[in-house]
Structure 1
Amino acid sequence: MKKAFLFLCHLLLIVMLPQMSQGQQDRVARTNTTPVTEQNRTDDSVKNEKLQEVLVTASRMPERIDEVPSSVTILGKEQIEQQININPSISEILAFTVPGLGPSTNKATNTGQTLRGRNVLVLIDGIPQSTPLMNGNRDIRSLDPAIIERVEVIKGATSIYGNGSGGGIINYITKKPDADKRIAGQTFLGLNGHPGSLNNSVGYRLSQSFNGTLDKFSYVASATYNYTGLLKAADGSVLGQEDGLEQSYALNTFAKGQYRFNKQSELTVAYSFFKSLQNSDYVVEPGVYGERPAIGIKGEDPGDPAGTPQNHNVFATYTLRNLPFHTEMDLTGYFHRFLSTNRYVAKANGWYGPGQTQISSKKKGLRLNLLTPFGNGRVKGTIAYGMDLLGDDTYQPLLDGRVYIPNMDMTNMAPYAQLKIDMFDHLIFKGGIRYENARVDVEDYQTLPKDADGGGVVAVKGGRINYKSAMFNAGLRYNKYEYFNPFVSFSQAFGLNELGRILRAATVQDMALLQTDPIITNNYEAGFSSRFSIFNLTAAYYISTSKLGANLVANESGTLLPQRNPERVHGYELTLDAQLTASLGLGATYAYVEGKAEKEDGTKEYLGFARIAPPKATAYARYRATDKLDLQLFWVYTGSRDRFDPLEDGRYRVGTGPVKPVNIFNLSGSYQLHKAVRVGFGVENIFNKSFYPFYSQFSADNLRYTMGNGARASLNLTYTY
């Protein structure tokens, strides 16, 4: 494997170098590959195209991006392909490209990767992947990016898709069957590793897809296998990571078919299976927080492989157009089965003795969405309305049979209506309501013993919790002038976040005595976009409030418990893009967020770093050297954050450690060898810098005090036919 990696690198240089000098005379127009966002749009050659970019996640109706009165990021297929050259983990890709999303953990989990300081609801084609009843923090990395057509990120509280979207929504939209051939396909082969220390660090990536059209039927199918070798720090030492990605594999199979009955109706059926587990012959040797890092040493983990043993998604959507009043209907039924296995621990805070927990979730749902246009001339619009039905069964057992969190059986029925009015062609009003009518049934249960004598057990009487709440949203956008395109908005979100934590930590004998009220989040936002000459500037400022929170704070035993105190989060996001020449484009983003909770005595304290990320800045330079060679340089910066005092013994509570700045540079490029063959290459951390990621720093834990990746190179070959 090592020889193959070196051979491909050598071959790439031989092929490319002669072409690079020739390319200085062959300039071509640049195609924007930064995220197409309410904050990110580039040169005049693609301006009109980007203005016509259509998204559906924000309000469940097709709308142009310049009609949305909120902050939106759209990440397209080309941008995803660029980032795969650097790191194929979708968590890393989004961390590099989405302003307002927290830094990634470089692990299989996304702890601390919040959106604007609050939890995000992750969807695949509108199917919820998150488990808000008990957050396992594996929802962002719930599929392989090879099957993604685009990602739509809606920032700020929104209830349009239901429970758990206090910070916003990430909707992965999978590839659609659109080939005009009977059969077409793409083969992807890739190798990656640490160039200065290839021993056992080489990984590989294999992907095959087919798509085509047969009369009225069209299809797309793919399978991707990704193996990650040992991850190493800049000095070549093996990273010691619990729930890590080193020596892990991920498998994603996917199929989608569409049958068009006629011009007015069609049926789409899709299935996706994702599995990712770590099977390493290294274990973690704890470091000393603030002094030396945790490292990986040879050893055997006594538990089952940690990760995502299974993530099944299946849905069927029937679309019918040209109903009375020109109404269009989408009816979708879906099923989601998700298992998340946490790492084995020899000692736990929540129970006595060793053990390994697994979050189990089953969701079944039905969605009816209707779109009816109205009006003409200077006042026109669309109404989106319908009903969501959802059944969610979630619980968390230990693999030895003990039940850590009892089964939470939620049934949710939510009618909704969303109105968009276009007044005088340039003033867009959007408003809507969603009525959440949910219940959660929990049978009688017992908490687990905390000592060898069985102490700490509490027998809790279960019951039913009813939730009824109306969520509202409203916004205005004025898009007449490109040099000043402002918007204002208000939106709400409904969340039962961390109900499982509340149940498993019960100290009373009746569930009715627990504080299980939902979190209602209010989001206020104002912003604008501005286009002039070669520049695109955008800005947004937001305030997010909730009367109840779910900030996790460690008690004296180290168990994380949610605080139900009022919270206020605020922040801003800035972006600037410039197309300097036909072949050179530059851009940058900056995102800042801060948050506090109000205690019972009226004093305010900062929210923990698992919620509030440090300031994050990104920048890119894209250079089209020739019509065949495309190069992109990316910079990612996370700033400092020091909000908490240490304990008397000098240690910090979990999640409150001081954070120092980190600067990382990444390189991605592609070369078109032939019209059907493309070579991709990339380097993560091109300067091989030693650093501690944000997660390692704020955790303030010897076991988690791990360094980040050293330089890691990849070489990929794509054949399209």
Structure 2
Amino acid sequence: MKKRLSVGVAVLAGSASIGLQAQEAQDTMVVVGSRTPTQISQIPGAVWVIERDEIQQQLNTGADLKTTLGRLVPGMDLAPQGRTNFGQNLRGRSVQVLIDGVSLNSSRGLSRQFDSIDPFNIERIEVLSGASSLYGGGATGGIVNIITRKGESGGPNWRTRASVSSGFNDSDDFDKGLKQSVSGGSERLQGYLGVGYEDHGRFYDGDGDEIFPDITQTDLQDNRSIDVLGNVNAQLTPEQDLQLTGQIYRSRYEGDRGIYFPNIAQAPIPSLDGAEIRDGFDSDRSPSTERKMVNAQYHHGNLLGQDFYLQAFYREEEADFNAFPYPRPLPLEGRFGTEFATSEQNTKLSGIKALFDADLTETVSLTYGVDYEHEEFDANQMFFDIPATDASGGLVQQESRTEERYPSYEVDGFSGFLQGDWQATEALKLSAGVRQQHMEVDVDDFTLRNYNQLGERVGVEIPGGDNDYDATLFNASVLYDFGDHQTWLRYSQGFELPDPAKYYGKAPNISVGENPLDAVETDQVELGWRYRGDSWMGQAAIYYAWSDKAVENNDDLSVSVINEKKRDYGFEGAVTRYFDNGFETGGTLHLVRSEQKNDGDWDKRDVRYASVSSATAFLGWTDYERSVRLQANHNFDLEDDADQEIDGYTTLDLTMGYRMGIGELNFGVENLLDKDYSTVWGQRAVQFYSPNFGPEYLFDYQGRGRTYTLSWSMDY
């Protein structure tokens, strides 16, 4: 069985085995770097591996999955804290998120990739920083591959975790979680089944005030989630194995608290001012994320003298949003009304991937294969009865009708790739590769509806059509391995998937056939270095990424591809220092600058899209039975050339653990100093939605105040 160790931000149990663990780190095998198991020391790129113990340590403070990644992966933005991960980029650009190699991204960017799995069912997370074409579109900033827990022989092996969290602001300020798994099997057949349940209460900020719900992208207050994941691994022959995985995930609002608007029926023009949070919320459609996934992976260790990998998968997703208030003319009443509406967006993704890995000579290897993916998307908008919302201040939302929200579409992607490695000397490795991707887009006819001055709902027919586009992506790298440290120089390309749902359907003059989508390609150059020794580990890289186009939101929140050059450049790094007495210290740093060329000059990119520089630092101690860790997380200030700003902030987290005779007890405090602050997403939402859609306070999503978490876990 391969031994694994985290890179850069590892949390080690003590000092006696540091030398051995550092050596094991040299042999750590990951798939994120080349889609086949490869030692980290042989990957010409910044690779970060977050093991389950590290994930668990962050969860003990009350963190969720995206928060954990933001704290432990330099280059990745700190998390926005709501349900969305919009703007949580990697190296200033979009990140592709996978579960066991199955992409959670799609052409329609919903930014809910981390609302997809309970961390209890995660074995480790592999992250490759920088533009990549390994898994197709969406990875202009890097790849996050979530590896799920697997069964082991013997057993049955049981695992239990229970947790409670509260800031003690009110009786509804209370979260609870209960997780259970079982695994076992023989040498040839192993199975795993894990169930994770989370129930969140209300959130309160650093001043003890109840946090307003995020009515744009939704949040996790009064949210209940359940994740059921199971897999079976069969050793068919000494050279063949088959793994089958299935998952059902549901994350849904289950509360009765909502925003009460006292002035939405005000004549002649309604107002969204003066809103407050009240009981009595009842809606025919509540915010939720539901996913189903099946994944089959087959490996033959000697097919035609090569390693052969075959994967087939299917993913289905439904995303429901919070009701949003829109003005509507009511001429018969001589006033404007407020109509609430919310969307449901559905995605189906299926595909098959085949890959060969061949050693042509003792020094030359070749990886090649083909990918095919089929994506289907549709969306609808549910409108709610105005008399019911007027009478209840928006708390009671009864369906009045449902219409199309975006044009439905299908996208077929066909790809072929070739990657070669040459071990020129014992230390020097040269690599190069190419990926050719062809995308076919088929958009349905769509009716764009709006109100006229008479208050009538009228529609404009927008014809659909089909088109296609191509992307050719190259990479080349040089890696020099000194033994305990490596350095590399890498050039790579990735591309962003355009969004057909928001690009088409805006107006009849935007013909699908005559306005084909275009892959927004990103080029990147990276110089990096990593070291693993007996007493410390470190990894760092400087990078420069650029593209000739940019995707931006219009005032009506549709998207356009603009012919403006965009670039991101910066530094990412992490270091951990271990001491003989069980102490350890370290941190991460990401300095990034995002710019866009306007009228020949490089301007700082709009703060709605630009990444925010960040840093973390920690001090920890352990003696195997007891442990303590103090961690600081800092977002830097950000300002663009239009004087729009993101105010930075610093929070502290504390966690303590004690291994008992029956399991492990952990106590954590998130936001230890009870900092009152507006999240990065809240500040961006104000820029996106105010004043066009309402006053600032309605979109300024606040950070959670001091929160205590007590958890107990046991393997048996």
Tell me the TM-score normalized by structure 1: 0.86
Q: For 1:617 and 1:106, locate their aligned partners in 2 and report how far apart those are by CA, in whole Å.
A: 17
| Preserved CA contact (<8 Å) 2:46 2:539 | no
What is the letter of the counterpart of residue 48 of structure 1? Answer: Q
Measured in 1, the distance between the counterparts of 2:225 and 2:113 equals 14
Residues 602-629 of structure 1 deviation map (CA, whole Å, 9 limit, x = unaligned)? 34443233422221000111201x3211
Aligned to 2:267: none
SS in structure 1 of the partner of residue 373 of structure 2: strand
Question: Are 1:209 and 1:222, in contact at CA under 8 Å, matched by a contact in 2?
Answer: yes
- Cα deviation for residue 536 of structure 1 reads 3.6
Deviation at 1:105, TM superposition (A): 1.6
User: Could you say which residue in structure 2 is the equivalent of 1:636?
Assistant: 633
Q: Does 1:63 pair with 2:8?
A: no
Q: After TM superposition, list the pairs within 5 Å mapping 1:507-526 onto structure 2.
A: 508=509, 510-514=511-515, 516-526=517-527
* 2:323 matched residue in structure 1: 344
Letter of the 2:416 partner, please give it. P
Give the SS at the match of 1:346. Answer: strand
Check if 1:142 corresponds to 2:116. Answer: yes
| Equivalent position of 1:566 in the other structure | 565
Structure-2 change in CA distance of 1:531 and 1:79 (3 Å): closer
Match of 2:667 in 1: 681
- After superposition, the C-alpha distances for 1:53-98 in whole angstroms (9 at most, x for unaligned) are 1111121121111211111211111101111111252111111111
| Residue 205 of structure 1, CA deviation | 0.5
1:479 Cα deviation (Å)?
A: 1.2
2:344 partner letter: Q
Q: Does 1:442 align with 2:443?
A: yes
C-alpha distance in structure 2 between counterparts of 1:33 and 1:670, whole Å: 22
1:123 deviation in Å?
Answer: 0.7
SS at match of 1:235: coil
Q: In the aligned structure 2, how far is the partner of 1:499 from the partner of 1:709?
A: 35
CA distance in 1, matches of 2:320, 2:252: 9
Where does 1:669-708 land on structure 2 (aligned, <5 Å)?
A: 669-674=656-661, 676-700=662-686, 701-708=696-703
1:714 to 698, 709, 712: 709
Corresponding residue for residue 20 of structure 1: none
Mapped partners of 2:142, 2:63: distance in 1: 23
Query: 5+ unaligned residues in a row in structure 1: which ranges?
Result: 1-30, 647-656
- Residue of structure 2 equivalent to 1:430: 431
| Corresponding position: 1:52 with 2:39 | no
1:500-539 equivalences under 5 Å are: 500-506=501-507, 508=509, 510-514=511-515, 516-530=517-531, 534-539=535-540
Give the partner amino acid of 2:201.
G
Deviations 1:23-43 (A, max 9, x none): xxxxxxxx9796359xxx995
Q: 2: distance between equivalents of 1:285 and 1:667?
A: 36
| Cα shift readout 1:352-394 (whole Å, capped 9, x = no counterpart) | 9532112210011011111112322xxx243221111110112
Residue 242 of structure 2 aligns with which residue? 267
Give identity over the alignment, percent.
21
Change (3 A) 1:202 1:437: same
Distance 1:422 1:231, change over 3 A: same
Tell me which amino acid in the other structure corresponds to 1:470. T
- TM-score, normalised to structure 2, is 0.87
* Cα distance between partner residues in 1 of 2:560 and 2:317: 24
Alignment of 1:111-510 (within 5 A): 111-131=86-106, 133-178=107-152, 180-194=153-167, 196-214=168-186, 216-242=188-214, 243-284=218-259, 296-300=277-281, 302=283, 304-308=285-289, 310-325=290-305, 327-347=306-326, 353-376=339-362, 380-399=363-382, 400-449=401-450, 451=452, 453=455, 457-480=459-482, 482=484, 485-506=486-507, 508=509, 510=511
Question: SS in structure 2 opposite 1:354?
Answer: strand
- The one-letter code matched in structure 1 to 2:664 is R
Q: Would you say the 8 A contact 1:60–1:384 is kept in 2? A: no
* Equivalent-residue separation in structure 1 for 2:534 and 2:182 (angstroms): 42
Q: Cα distance 1:607–1:334, how it changes in 2: closer, same or farther (>3 A)?
A: same
Aligned twin of 1:590: 589
Q: Distance in 2 between matches of 1:402 and 1:562?
A: 27
Is 1:662 the counterpart of 2:653 in the alignment? no
Select the residue among 642, 647, 650 that pairs with 1:645.
642
Could you tell me how far 1:565 is from its partner in structure 2? 2.4
The size of the alignment, in residue pairs, is 659
CA-CA distance at 1:633 after TM superposition: 1.4
Classify the secondary structure of the residue corresponding to 2:676. coil
Code of the residue aligned with 1:630 in structure 2: it is S
Structure having the larger proportion of residues in strand: 2
User: Do the aligned residues in 1 keep the contact of 2:46 with 2:540 (CA within 8 Å)?
Assistant: no
Q: Contact (CA 8 Å) 2:313, 2:350: kept in 1 or not?
A: yes
Contact 2:72 2:588 in 1 (8 A): no
Q: Distance in 2 between matches of 1:348 and 1:638?
A: 36
Please give the per-residue CA displacement for 1:226-264, whole angstroms capped at 9, x wherever unaligned: 011111112221111221111111110010001112211
Q: CA deviation at 1:192?
A: 1.1
Match of 2:334 in 1: none
Distance 1:252 1:317, change over 3 A: same
Q: Which amino acid aligns with 2:57?
A: Q
Give the 4+ runs in structure 1 shifted more than 6 A: 31-34, 292-295
Structure 1 680/32 Cα, relative in aligned 2: closer, same or farther at 3 Å? farther
Deviations 1:149-187 (A, max 9, x none): 111111111111012111111111101112x32411111
Quick one: distance in 2 between partners of 1:222 and 1:334? 20
SS at match of 2:449: coil
RMSD across aligned positions (CA): 2.7
1:33-52 equivalences under 5 Å are 35-36=9-10, 43-52=18-27
Distance in 2 (alpha carbons) for counterparts of 1:63 and 1:233:
45
Indicate how the Cα distance of structure 1 residues 497 and 559 shifts in structure 2: closer, same or farther if over 3 A, else same. Answer: closer
- Give the stretch that moved more between structures: 528-537 or 60-69: 528-537
